[in-house]
Amino acid sequence: MTRVGWLAIGIVLFGCEGDPVGEVVDAGSGGSAGLGGSAGVGGSAGTGGSGLGGSAGSAGSAGAAGAGGCSSSCAEELAPQSTVASALALGDSFVYLVTPTGVVRAPKVPGKPAAISTGSYLGPAAVDATHVYLFDKADLHLEKLSTSGGIPAALTPAQTATPFDLVLGAGYATYALYPQGVYRVPITGGTPALLSQAGDDPIAVEVDATDAFYVTTIGKTLMRAPLAGGTPTPLATALLAPRDLVLVGSNVIYADVNVILSMPKAGGSSDKIADALVDRMATDGSAVYWVSNVEKRVASVPVTGGAIHVYAKDEGSPDGVAVDDTHVYWINDGGLYRAAKSCCVL
- Sign of the torsion formed by the C-alpha atoms of 178, 284, 134 and 119: positive
- Assess contact for 300 and 74: CB atoms under 8 A: no
Distance between CA 342 and CA 62 in Å, rounded?
28
- How does residue 72 score in pLDDT terms, banded at 50, 70 and 90? confident
Residue 239 confidence (pLDDT) above 80: yes
Average predicted confidence (pLDDT) for the chain: 86
Higher pLDDT, 37 or 96: 96
Q: What is the pLDDT of residue 71?
A: 87
Give one word for 270, left, alpha or beta, with left for phi > 0 and alpha for psi -120 to 50: beta
Q: Sign of dihedral through CA atoms 99, 182, 278, 266?
A: negative
Report CA-CA distances (Å) from 160 to 111, 114, 140, 142.
Answer: 38, 31, 7, 12
- Decide if pLDDT at 61 tops 80: no
CA 321/CA 62 separation, integer angstroms = 42
Q: What is the pLDDT of residue 163?
A: 98
3-7, 209-213, 223-227: segment of lowest average pLDDT: 3-7
Assess whether pLDDT exceeds 90 at residue 46. Answer: no
pLDDT > 90? residue 185: yes
Q: Shortest CA distance to 121 belongs to which of 104, 138, 96?
A: 138
Q: Is the predicted pLDDT of residue 69 greater than 80, yes or no? A: no
- Domains of the chain are 1-69 (no CATH), 76-91+154-340 (2.120.10.30)
State the number of CA atoms in the 13 A half-sphere of 290 facing the CB. Answer: 30
> Nearest CA to 338 among 113, 68, 85, 73?
73
- 301 CB-contact burial (10 Å; exposed 0-12 / middle 13-18 / buried 19+): buried
pLDDT at 5: 36
Task: Report whether pLDDT(34) > 80.
Answer: no
Mean pLDDT of 263-269: 98
Instruction: Please count the other Cβ atoms lying within 10 Å of the Cβ belonging to residue 3.
Output: 11
Confidence at residue 226, expressed as pLDDT on a 0 to 100 scale: 99
289-315 pLDDT, tens per residue?
999 999 999 999 999 999 999 999 999
pLDDT of residue 228: 96
Question: Looking at the predicted structure, is the pLDDT value of residue 58 above 60?
Answer: no
**Of the candidate ranges 50-54, 168-172, 213-217, the one whose mean pLDDT is the lowest:** 50-54
pLDDT for residue 258 is more than 90: yes
